[in-house]
Structure 1
Amino acid sequence: MTTQHPLLATEPARDSRDFRTEQIGADLVIVGGGMAGTCAAVTAARAGARVVLVQDRPVLGGNASSEIRLWVLGATAHMFNNNRWSREGGVLDEILVENMYRNPDGNAVLFDTVLLEKAAAEPGITLLLDTAAIAVSKDGDRIGSVTAFCSQNSTRYELTAPLFCDASGDGVLGYLAGAAYRMGAESTEEFGELFAPEESYGGLLGQSIYFYSKDVGRPVTFVPPAYALDDITRIPRWRSFDTTVQGCRLWWIEYGGRLDTVHDTEAIKWELWKVVHGVWNHLKNSGDFPEAETLTLEWVGLIPGKRESRRFEGLYMLRQQDIVEQRPHEDAIASGGWSLDLHPADGVFSEHPGSNHLHARGVYQVPYRCLVSRDVGNLLLAGRIISVSHVAFASTRVMATCAQIGQAAGMAAALCARDGLLPADLTEPGRMRALQRELLRAGQHIPDLRLDDPDDLVRQAELSASSELAVAELPGDGPAVQLDHARAQLLPLPAGRLPQLTLTVDVAAPTTLRVEIRTGNRPQDYTPDVLLAAQDFDLDAGDGQRITVDVDAVVDEPRYVFVALLRNDDVAVRTTTRRATGLLAVRHASTQDADDAVGRPRVEFWTPERRPGGHNLALTIDPPVRAWTAASVRNGHARPTAHPNAWAAAYDDPRPTLRLRWPEPRRIGRIDLAFDTDFDHAMESVLWDHTERAVPFCVRHYVVRAGDRVVAERTDNHQTRGTLTFDEPLETDELSVEVVSTQGDAPAAILDVRCYPPAP
């Protein structure tokens, strides 16, 4: 290059030029920066791996980003199912808790910043935005390098690593590497899946584009573009559109399931743009919506949110029976809980309902083998492209589930990089237990697995507390609620005879009220269709009547029971304002009827109401429930499952303190704490407003002491997990955690305490 002036650069003509090329080496290259890829990258980097994260969009998050604006959701399913305390853990939990704290109104642009900050905070991550993977080189059955191109800086990247992860949604890396994949739906005969769709329904889910509107307080004219759909009645459900629904609540503006959802995406986008602008034209200009006069079309998605394209074949293919029967897997590494949710291929133009659901009784395990390519030796799969059938995909595809799968892939890659292994090597039982242990340490939730950690010094400690919560009475200081639905209080009871329970009711007219004691078919089952006992009460009209449930029934092992008051329109039950970790009231919202033809079980849905509603029922319990012992913090379950799995202090404890004592001094390099951010709360990332910024059960201010010496203090915590690392290891025979305050008026609670020796 010849320079003629300090402010001018000139370049003579050449026959041709090539793009600038940069070589980057790492331990792991991840293609795809959606929720799965982001969580994989953060997890791997925290575990010591050097990571390159390649994202072909300007922001992270994929369908959750401000470009598409779908809420992140998974097993909690808007709290409409029986998956109690099932919100995904680990990195995704950090993200959702932080987003609710900063962004309770669900602004998608702010959610972008939370994701970008999380990736940028990890020095082990090289983030390449606006960069698309375009080629792969291979050495035998392994990927050697990935070529990627950034349109914004005209740079080609050559990325090398011993391990690769495809989290790209369409599976671009696996496709270029030649891995076996499927598109469409398997027949019922292949796996015996009764929910497999007929040809008339279609074998692929389509794509969606949403819009937002805004009231500007003055009349706004809308002139539709020439390409807008001019006949709204082509949409069978056109009468369902109104001005109050926007964003991803319009998920059923869907199209493309009859097309190639990879290569026809641009055509699908144009069709969805036609629909969106046609819908808005109908709302603004049909005359049927006078309230639309001051509304303007604030935003329309620029790219469609994809649901389904390629699914790659791994060492195992998850199927309907795994989900509905909640089958156990020795290599479980994540949880799922969304329904089997199939959509008609014709989408918004279909005569079928927008979705067809089949709910299991509860959450299920995702096996690691679904994340390991069977063809490409150093390729991990994450997100919606993992090895599942079309029917199982209908559940695993949702973003919170994909994020947990991404966390598992990231941790697996870090262990492989550290030990010089390939992904398939981790299926060996000892290595799998090590992977599961690392995931649980990092906050991952794996149903039915508890953390058994030989390195944890708390296992050797004597645990005590200033007090332990014993629930003898929940006073009736809350509103009375009508039994327009059956309502129930979940109580964590020990094995043995049921306690005597007294409730208070207001009765409008003489009636008979039935109270049933129910439970699930196993300790962690929250579908209460096992009847333990029942009692009928003949009541006269009158307020403040106390009824005592005293039945000769036995709880077989520690578990939650439902104290259920069946529907009675003449009765209201008194509630309490008191809340506590692991205490929850629910109501019978609906029932999924059994259908043997498609493998659909009967499931009664007993679901909570969101705060500030959802009060616990007022009652007295004799003998009191004592489920919040100090020893709970080391039982390996850092959330309620079959029990609260938490230490909680008494409501009137002025200085709630948990103490650990060892027979002789221990050297401590790190302390891990876990607090209650209510894993039952869905924490939708966008559009859905949250009445809280921080969960009231969560510890806000705490002090850690070694003996009498303060070694750490946090004054404004709202996160689930707190990690204290000491440059100079503590040497002590006594440790205490004092809870100075919580984020609300719930009693102090700690879910998990772990102490580790200094790193070698």
Structure 2
Amino acid sequence: MKIDIAAKSADIIREADVLVVGGGPAGIGAAVSAGQAGLKVLLLEKNGFLGGNITASYVETCNYFMKNTPFHSCGVYSRMEAGYREKFGRSQDIRPNAPHRFNSENLKIYLDTFVHSAGVEILFHSFVNDVVLKNNRIEAVIIQTKQGPVAVKAGIVIDSTGDGDVAYSAGVPFEQGRDTDHLCQPGTLSFRVAGVNAALLMENGEDKLAEIGRKYKQDYRAGKTGLTCKRQDLPFGRMTAGGQISYVNYPCAYGIDPTDIADLSRGEEECRQYILEMVKYMSKNFVGMEHVELSSIATEICFRDSRRFVGRYKLTIEDMETDRWFDDVIAVYPRFYDMLAPDAEMDGDGSVEGKGYKGHIYEPIEGNRSFQIPYFSLVPEKIDNLLLSGRSISCDHVAQSGIRAISACMQTGEAAGAAAGISLKSGVAPVDVNIAELQNVLRTQGVILP
């Protein structure tokens, strides 16, 4: 069944040179990069704060896989992290030898200033799910608000929504999940706990949380836990002297379509039951957590993959595995893959050869192996003034497990923002920007390119 929706008019509340939709890592990179070009930039975010999965979903440990490797962050991400560290240090984390983790609550505050310092205007509570098209261009995007729909016009729009809500509304073709059954990786609803015995868990300078996680995985695989959730891993975040663990990245709902509200609703409810189970399990089975209590649940279930839009070039896992060089390279990233099995079969060996059909994929960095991301994976088909950034760029499902990392998403956003500046100043469409000029701009912003 269908119902007709009456035509409505919407007030144009803002006009900008560049409109960035989505205030997660990709959107932050895009907005700051475009702002540095001296453009009038507007950033729209559906939540009341920036940071995306880092803040909304407690994914505070962003570049853990780079620790003790030749790689380090660059560009906008490195400036964001350096400024945050100067202000907030180790984020009250007492775990020794841990990679740097953000305190997501402090990061919310810091990001306001960081993004505004690039001359960017931010509008929160701005959910975009419609566009106005004319001659293969986005004339305006529509924000759904409590006062009805309102419109924003811009010369170039950068979709940093994660799910590609703008590109979808504009009719750009897309793929989703695995080729055979379109299953995506599970959705996760992280949570925080308080009341742990921090002194005991850090006794003699040892990090007993790491050992608890290893023991849990062994017990799960041996069938000893009796827990309902099929997730075998139990990653912990920061631990503070006050007895808080800043995230437990555990409850996973499998078989969920990240763009379907019925699936999303089922996933939220399912994960809350897993949280209840796990908190009880922790109090009964983990040393130092006898008095643990649930302190908060992330604002929404988060996803590792969703729509991937058809672009001028589709990045493949074969490109990444062979370290293919691209003339239009805009990011070089360490070869690192992380895919939770879409079908919950987590017993594979973690190798990329399984392509998500034979268990999970987890391949850490090896030496100085890396891969390149080309600019034309950011340029979608059909729409002349739209750019993609983040996990929804043009790539295959297995490649997406490498480009979805938070700092990688920020790098693709940074490239999109720089390309928008060149496009507008030179009067050409994004597809026709001068690649050498784009690469030079990125280098001046601290991005490491060949």
Q: TM-score, normalised by structure 1?
A: 0.48
Q: 1:115 to 1:72 in 2, by over 3 A?
A: farther
CA deviation after TM superposition for structure 1 residue 148, in Å:
0.5
CA–CA distance in structure 2, aligned partners of residues 406 and 244 of structure 1: 27
Q: 1:41 Cα shift?
A: 0.5
- Which residue is 2:144 aligned to? 149
Q: CA deviation at 1:22?
A: 4.3
Shift of 1:117: 1.0
Q: Secondary structure at the match of 1:294?
A: coil
RMSD: 2.9
Partner of 2:430: 423
Please say if 1:390 is aligned against 2:389: no
Listed as ranges, the matches of 1:520-599 within 5 Å are: none
Structure 1 match to 2:190: 210
For 2:97, the equivalent position in structure 1 comes to none
Q: In 1, Cα distance between the equivalents of 2:421 and 2:234? A: 48
Within 2, Cα distance between the matches of 1:244 and 1:60? 20
The DSSP-based 3-state class of the residue aligned with 2:268 is helix
1:442 aligns with 2:430: no
TM-fit CA distance, 1:25:
1.1
Distance change >3 Å, CA 346–CA 46, structure 1 → 2: same
Distance of 2:383 and 2:246 partners within structure 1 = 36
Which secondary structure does the structure 2 equivalent of 1:168 belong to?
A: coil
Residue by residue, what CA displacement relative to the aligned partner does 1:627-650 show, whole Å, maximum 9, x if unpaired? xxxxxxxxxxxxxxxxxxxxxxxx
Residue of structure 2 in register with 1:55 after alignment: 45
- 1:419 and 1:254, CA in 2 relative to 1: closer, same or farther beyond 3 A? same
Instruction: Give the unaligned 5+ runs of structure 1.
Output: 1-17, 188-198, 218-230, 450-760
Tell me which residue corresponds to 2:114: 118
Whole-Å separation in 2 of the counterparts to 1:145 and 1:341: 36
Is residue 356 from structure 1 mapped to residue 355 from structure 2 by the alignment?
no
TM-aligned CA distance change 1:121 to 1:241, over 3 Å: closer
Once the 2 structures are TM-superposed, how far is the Cα of residue 216 of structure 1 from its aligned partner? 7.2
Distance 1:332 1:236, change over 3 A: closer
Counterpart in 1 of 2:304?
A: 307
Looking at structure 1, the residues matched to 425 and 342 of structure 2 have their Cα atoms a distance apart, in angstroms, of 44
Q: Which has the higher helix share?
A: 2
- 2: distance between equivalents of 1:248 and 1:371? 34
Q: Which position in structure 2 is the counterpart of 1:411?
A: 418
Deviates more, 1:260-269 or 1:128-137: 260-269
Are 2:380 and 1:370 aligned? no
Tell me the secondary structure at the aligned position of residue 234 of structure 1: coil
1:98 counterpart letter in structure 2:
G
SS in 2 for 1:334: strand
Structure 1 contact 43–407 (Cα < 8 Å) conserved: yes
Whether the 8 Å CA contact 1:56–1:130 is kept in 2: the answer is yes
Deviation track 1:393-447 (CA, whole Å, cap 9, x = no partner) reads: 0100111000011000000001111111111002xxxx1101100110111122x
Task: State the shift of 1:379 in Å.
Answer: 0.8
1:250, distance to aligned residue in structure 2 (A):
4.1
Q: SS at the partner of 1:158? A: strand
1:137 partnered with 2:156 = no
Find the aligned partners of 1:283 and 1:38 in 2 and give their Cα distance.
36
2:72 corresponds to:
87
Question: 8 Å contact 1:61–1:112 — kept in the other structure?
Answer: yes
**Letter in structure 1 aligned against 2:415:** A
Alignment of 1:499-538 (within 5 A): none
Q: Is the 8 A contact 2:128 2:144 kept in 1?
A: yes
One of 160, 163, 178 as aligned partner of 1:170: 163
Alpha-carbon distance change, 419 to 271 in structure 1, aligned in 2, over 3 angstroms = same
Stretches of structure 2 that go unaligned for 5 or more consecutive residues are 1-7, 92-101, 198-224, 351-358
Q: Is the 8 A contact 2:178 2:397 kept in 1?
A: yes
Change in CA separation of 1:239 and 1:161 when aligned onto 2, cut-off 3 Å = closer
**Deviation string for 1:504-523 (max 9, x for gaps)?**
xxxxxxxxxxxxxxxxxxxx
- 1:49-70 CA deviation, whole Å, 9 max, x = no partner? 11111110111110011x2110
CA–CA distance in structure 1, aligned partners of residues 293 and 250 of structure 2? 22
Give 1:536's aligned residue.
none
- How does the TM-score come out when normalised to structure 2? 0.79
Letter in 2 for 1:186: D
Match of 1:101 in 2: 86
Distance 1:241 1:399, change over 3 A: closer
Say which SS state the counterpart of residue 27 (structure 1) adopts. Answer: strand
Q: How does 1:5-84 map to 2 (within 5 A)?
A: 21-65=11-55, 67-71=56-60, 73-74=62-63, 77-79=65-67, 82=69, 84=70
Work out whether 1:282 is the aligned partner of 2:281. yes
Matched, 1:327 2:334: no
- 1:314 CA displacement: 0.6
Q: Residue type matched to 2:424 in 1?
A: A
Secondary structure of the corresponding residue to residue 443 of structure 1: coil
Q: Which has the higher strand share?
A: 1
User: Residue 608 of structure 1 corresponds to which residue in structure 2?
Assistant: none
CA contact (8 A) 1:32 1:167 kept: yes
Q: Is the 8 A contact 1:142 1:376 kept in 2?
A: yes
Indicate yes or no: 2:260 matched with 1:255.
no
Instruction: Tell me which of the two structures has the higher relative contact order, counting C-alpha pairs closer than 8 angstroms and 6 or more residues apart.
Output: 2
Q: How far off its partner does 1:243 sit?
A: 12
- What amino acid sits opposite 1:93 in the alignment? S
| CA deviation after TM superposition for structure 1 residue 241, in Å | 9.1
What's the CA shift for 1:326? 1.1
- Alignment partner of 2:306: what SS? coil
Question: Percent identity at matched positions?
Answer: 25
Number of aligned residue pairs: give it. 389
Task: Report how far residue 162 of structure 1 moved.
Answer: 2.0
Cα 1:94/1:137, change in 2 over 3 Å: same
The answer on 1:273 being equivalent to 2:272 is yes
Equivalent residues of 2:10, 2:149 under 8 A apart: yes
CA distance in 1, matches of 2:226, 2:276: 10
The structure with more radius of gyration: 1
Contact 2:187 2:267 (C-alpha < 8 Å) held by counterparts: yes
Distance 1:299 1:134 in 2: 29
Separation of aligned partners in 2, 1:333 and 1:290: 47
